[in-house]
Amino acid sequence: MGFADSLKGFKVTFEQMFKPRITTQYPKEKKPKPERFHGRHVLNRYEDGMEKCIGCELCAGVCPAKCIHVRGADNDPDNPVSPGERYGFVYEINYLRCIHCDMCVEACPTEAITESKLFEFSFSHRDQAIYTKEELVVADDGKPQNLPWEDWREGEDKDTSGWMRATAPAGSANFEGIPLWSGELGYGVRQAERGQSNAEPSEGAE
């Protein structure tokens, strides 16, 4: 390589120095995530604080990665955990296996399990990757619990039911603008997702 070839290489380098940067300074900066982004799961609660999970184990049965372990138990009539006869006594998700396919969300009959936008984990021990029910159930304000090894940013906890709302029931445009799900602790009845048609919001969608 001659001196002239070296100068050509430096010319390319110097030209790039004055062009606008297109890279994101991650992790200091994060790009916004879509509303239906598949991230870390949460177990939701009704507006009165009761848990939505009824321990039916459908999410575990449909999971292709076999990362969910659920065991149901009968509710105490005097101190029920959920409105039904049973509740999720044990609920674990192994994030070393999870592929975030969201089949568990679609299978859940009570909208108990949904996903947040968080996907950055920094486990220092394998046990931390196995989330227990105590870690998955939302806090008293309805937001996901922020665990020490998670990198939460503003807004990543706002659309934990985005995928469920987009696909219920089966994504039919006939139901656009009509909420067909129950309220959530801290949020009430979330608005239906728009965009499947140009129709005006249906009655009752306020």
What pLDDT was estimated at residue 48?
93
Percentage of the chain beyond pLDDT 70 is: 86
Tokens of 158: 């706002």
pLDDT of residue 204: 46
Strand partners, 68: 93
Domain boundaries, the chain: 33-175
Angle (CA) 18 20 21, round 5°: 110
- The residues near 44 (Cβ < 8 Å, ≥ 6 apart) are 51, 52, 111, 112, 113, 114, 138, 142, 160, 161, 184, 185
The list of the chain residues with pLDDT below 50 reads: 202-206
Residue 92 DSSP SS3:
strand
Q: What is the pTM of this model?
A: 0.77
**Domain 33-175, classified CATH 3.30.1330.30, yes or no:** no
* First-to-final CA distance of the chain: 70
According to DSSP, the residues that pair with 90 across neighbouring strands are: 71
